[in-house]
Amino acid sequence: MKVTRRQFLKVTGATAAAMAVTDLGFNMNATASAIKELRIKNVTPTPTVCPYCASGCGLVVYAQKDSAGKFQKLLSVHGDPDNPINIGGACSKGAAMFNLREIYDPQTGEQIINPKRVQKPLYRAPGTDKWVEKDWDWMLDTIAERIKETRDSSFIHTEKLADGNDVIVNRTEKIASLGGSGLDNEECYLLSKMMRSLGLVYLETQARI
């Protein structure tokens, strides 16, 4: 259909006016306020892939940006019509991708950031019953220290084999890592490399469960 909004409304208005007299006996006007402006007009969507079931359906993200190209807010997220797996389709989960970041407030109808998203690193000290906000540097440095403490105090460098020879085993059994099936390949790769180089053997992902 190659009809602009203006043309369409014009035609509609004219016909409706005629019909109002001759046919139904009441006014038929598709008013401008009844038909909203297409809010993704001239917005270039960004393709991504659904993070759920592994079918690999493509999705497109429509976002509002300011004149400098800086991201402002989401407009809509829906199925990618170019992706041959889903050709634009999206089930309830895929269609709800907008909510992963933003929601419409049920009280006001306003578009807000999903209030469940955590926006700052959080720390819970032993024995306490609350989270405390911390900055990234403190968090990452402290985690690196904990890793070192635990690894170094539990590290097994060599073991004796049944034949009496020593073999280097370079492992710690005191640190474990779970998960990764929700990560991207490149992230999984870094995780695998980092954990194995630290000597972890308790390394598991959701594939096992």
Partner 1 sequence: MANLTNLYDVSKCTACRGCQIACKDWNQLPASIEPFKGNYQTHEDTDGDTFTIIKFFETEDPVTGVNWSFIKHQCMHCFEPACMMACPKGAYTKTETGATVHDPDKCIGCQYCTYACPFEIPKYRKREDKISKCTLCVDRTVEGLTPACARTCPTGALTFGDRDELLQKAEDRAKYLRENGYPNATIYGKLELGGLNKLYVLTDTPDKFGLPVDPHIPKNISAWQNVVQPYFGWLIPLMLGASAVSFVTTRLLANKHGGHGEHEEGGHE
Partner 2 sequence: MTNHVVDLKNTDCALIMGSNAAENHPISMKWLIRARENRGAKIIHVDPRYTRTSARADLYAPLRSGTDIAFLGGMIKYIIDNELYHKDYVVNYTNAAYLVKDEYGFEDGLFSGYDQENRKYDVSSWDYKYGEDGLPLTDPTLQDPRCVFQLMKKHYERYDIDSVCKITGTPKNKYLEVLDMFCATGAPNKTGTIMYAMGITQHTVGSQNVRSFAVVQLLLGNMGRPGGGVNALRGENNVQGATDMALLFHIIPGYIDSPMNNAAHKDLISFVRSVTPGAAKLPFTNLEELRELVKEGFPNSGWKIHSSKWVVSLLKAWYGEAANAGNDYAYHYLPKRDEKKNYSHMQLFEAMHRGEIDGLFVNGTNPVVGGPNANKEQAALTKLKWMVSIDLWLNETADYWTHQAWDRPVENPNVAKYTPAEIGTEVFFLPAAAVYEKEGTAAQTGRWVQFRWKGADPVGESKSDLWIYNELGKRIKKIYAGSTRKEDEPIVNMTWDYDNEHGEDDIMKVALELCGFDVADGKPVEGFAKLKDDGSTACGNWVYCGAMTFKDGKTIYKPQLRKKDDPSGLGLYPEWGWAWPMNRRIVYNRCSVQPDGVTPWPGDEERQLVRWDPNAIADPTKPEVLGKWVGVDVPDFIGTTGPDKPAFTKPFIMRPEGHGCLFAAKTSMKDGPFPEHYEPWESPTANKMNSHNLNPATKVIEPDKQGDAEKYPIIGTTYRVSEHWQTGALTRNLPWLAELMPNMMVELSEELANEKGIKNGHDVIISTIRGDVKAVACVTKRFKPLVIHGKHVHEIGLLWQYGFKGFATGDIANWLTPHIGDANTMIPEYKAWLCDIRRA
Residues 103-142 that bind partner 2 (CB under 8 A): 103, 106, 113-114, 116-129, 131, 136, 139-142
List residues binding partner 1 (CB under 8 A): 1-6, 8-13, 15-17, 19, 24-39, 41, 57, 76-79, 81, 86, 88-92, 94-96, 98, 103-109, 111
CB atoms within 10 A of CB 172: 19
The four Cα atoms 112, 107, 104, 135 give a dihedral, to 10 degrees, of 30
CB atoms within 10 A of CB 187: 11
By the 8 A CB rule, do 209 and 182 touch?
A: no
Whole-Å CA distances, 1 to 8, 29, 181: 11, 21, 42
User: Which of 11, 21, 24, 190 contacts partner 2 by CB under 8 A?
Assistant: 190
Residue 68, interface with partner 2 (CB under 8 A)?
A: no
Which listed option, partner 1, partner 2, none, makes contact with residue 2 (CB within 5 to 8 Å by class)? partner 1
Residue 16, interface with partner 2 (CB under 8 A)?
A: no
Residue (32 or 178) nearer to partner 2, CB = 178
CB atoms within 10 A of CB 92: 6
Which listed option, partner 1, partner 2, none, makes contact with residue 35 (CB within 5 to 8 Å by class)? partner 1
Which listed option, partner 1, partner 2, none, makes contact with residue 16 (CB within 5 to 8 Å by class)? partner 1
CA 95/CA 114 separation, integer angstroms: 16
Residue (19 or 183) nearer to partner 1, CB = 19
- Given the DSSP bridges, would you call strands 71-79 and 200-204 parallel, antiparallel or unpaired? unpaired
Residue 86, interface with partner 2 (CB under 8 A)?
A: yes
Residue 53, interface with partner 2 (CB under 8 A)?
A: yes
Residue (6 or 130) nearer to partner 1, CB = 6
- Given the DSSP bridges, would you call strands 111-113 and 71-79 parallel, antiparallel or unpaired? unpaired
Residue listed under structure tokens 């009809």: 3
